[in-house]
Amino acid sequence: MNRGARHDSTSRPTVTIGMPVFNGERYIRQAIDSVRAQTFEDFEFLISDNASTDATAAICREYAEKDRRIRLIRQEQNLGPFGNFKFVTDQASGDLLVWLAHDDVLEARFVEQTRLFMEQNPNAVLVCADVRVIDERGTETGIEELCGIREWIDWPRRCAEFFKFPISNVYLAIYGMMRTDVCRAALNAVRPPKYMAQIELPILARFAAAGEIASIPRVLRSYRRHDASLYHSEVSAMARKPPFKLPVSRWLHVGRLIFDQISLLLAACVRGRVKFAVLRNVANHYASRLVREL
């Protein structure tokens, strides 16, 4: 299949790569180029431009004109970050879905290797890989190895990682490959947040309640950390709150996250033995934290 080729009009793509973007002109070419370089080519690349005010739309249109796999949708009004993620999820045609931030980069075999894992593991609802962390210049600053959720670790131990606070680096699993129907159900069950910070927690907890999550022991994505990211913008906005409101807001936020995790785990339709093992692991986590704090 040629680089610009696409599945025929009567069939659906195997994979949807969804990119919600707002004002991403600085890095978006690198992200798009990494998608077009994928070794597995039966995908659609759905870009939702969230009413950008910079050159984002023009750049994406340029690529869409030369690659039929790219589907560009420009929003007339800004949907907000969560609304835009939900939009690309709802519009996805593939049974498998990958979210790609406009400032991240995929390795060429990302789709090939994660899709193969999903094909070979029907109980899996999400598979991820280790992550290379890069700065604004693209320089590597570290590797995040998601060792706590390797495939060979028994599922109750892996599952428990998604019901703890603070969560470990397994929050990066959200940047793996997902089953689209599970992702839609998770987003529909999550209350639209005021801030996107830590939104991975309630989403991943719902994935863990629906099936298995595992990580591949190789780097398949570069995750960019920089001062202009959405995360840093939200942290700055929260820091501008009056000093007496900031700790209260944080405690309420943490309390809601923990309550959501525990209540979801208790209500999850999983086998009793598995649920008991996960609850025991999570209880030990909080007991250890309490002992350390005391």
Question: What is the model's pLDDT at position 5?
Answer: 44
Work out the percent of the chain whose per-residue pLDDT is above 70. Answer: 88
Nearest partner of 132 among 228, 215, 218, judged by Cα: 218
- What residues are paired with 20 via a beta bridge? 48
pLDDT digits (tens, 9 = 90+) for 152-196: 999 999 999 999 998 899 999 999 999 999 999 999 999 887 767
Other CB atoms within 10 A of residue 293 CB: 6
Look at 184 and 275; give whichever has higher pLDDT: 184
Does 1-102 carry CATH code 3.90.550.10? yes
Whether 145 and 83 have beta carbons less than 8 Å apart is answered as no
Q: How far is CA 268 from the centre of its chain?
A: 21
- Enter the DSSP assignment of 169: G
- What residues are paired with 70 via a beta bridge? 45
pTM of the entire predicted model: 0.88
248: pLDDT confidence band, cut at 50, 70 and 90? low
From-to residues of CATH 3.90.550.10 in the chain = 1-102
10: pLDDT confidence band, cut at 50, 70 and 90? low
**What is the pLDDT averaged over residues 235-252?**
65
Q: What angle do CA 18, 22, 25 make, to 5 degrees?
A: 100
- What residues are paired with 97 via a beta bridge? 16, 178
Whether 97 and 186 have beta carbons less than 8 Å apart is answered as no
**Distant-in-sequence, close-in-space partners of 258: CB < 8 Å, separation ≥ 6:** 165
Radius of gyration of the chain (CA): 19
Q: What share of the chain is helix, strand, coil (3-state, %, to 5)?
A: 45, 20, 35
pLDDT digits (tens, 9 = 90+) for 63-116: 999 999 999 999 999 999 999 999 999 999 999 999 999 999 999 999 999 999
Give CA–CA dist 20/34, Å, rounded: 16
Q: Which two tokens stand for residue 120?
A: 């070979």
**What is the pLDDT averaged over residues 127-135?**
97
Give CA–CA dist 268/205, Å, rounded: 10
Give CA–CA dist 204/99, Å, rounded: 14
Nearest partner of 128 among 108, 151, 154, judged by Cα: 151
